[in-house]
């Protein structure tokens, strides 16, 4: 099975900061990667699909890049609404493994 490893697990940042979260796959998944945002008590929200495609309605400060085994989610200028937990998910094999999550906290 494909394992997904996110880093860091926790990230402390300030409003306006540029934030980057990394997700590594244990084997190549081409570009079959999605990023989600989740706030406490809420369902996840799709941000990015196919590694770099922005979901409709998601602010352009979110971007995704990468292919193969290494992927990044970048928030160009962190906003108050962005403090949340972020998950990557691979779907190269329909066994849709999630990363363990990255919590973005207020510094």
Which residues in this chain contact other proteins in the complex, by CB under 8 A?
Answer: 1, 32, 34, 36, 38, 43-46, 49-50, 55, 87, 89-92, 94-101
* Smallest distance, other proteins to C-beta of residue 50, A: 7
CB 92, min distance to other proteins, A: 8
Smallest distance from the beta carbon of 43 to other proteins, in angstroms?
4
The residue among 18 and 59 lying less far from other proteins, judged by its C-beta, is 59
- For residue 89, give every residue at least 6 positions away whose Cβ sits within 8 Å of its Cβ, in sequence order, or none: 4, 33, 34, 35, 36, 96, 97, 98, 99
Q: How many helices (H) and strands (E) does the chain have?
A: 0, 10
- Tell me the two tokens of residue 83: 């403090």
């Amino acid at each position: 099975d494909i394992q997904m490893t996110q880093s860091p697990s926790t990230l402390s940042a300030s409003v306006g900061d540029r934030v980057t979260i990394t997700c590594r796959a244990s084997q190549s998944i081409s570009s079959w990667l999605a990023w989600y945002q989740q706030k406490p008590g809420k369902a996840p929200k799709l941000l990015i699909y196919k590694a770099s495609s922005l979901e409709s309605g998601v602010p352009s400060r979110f971007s995704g890049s990468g292919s193969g085994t290494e992927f990044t989610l970048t928030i160009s200028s962190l906003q108050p609404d962005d403090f949340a937990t972020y998950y990557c998910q691979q779907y190269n094999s329909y066994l849709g493994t999630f990363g363990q999550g990255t919590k973005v906290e207020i510094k």
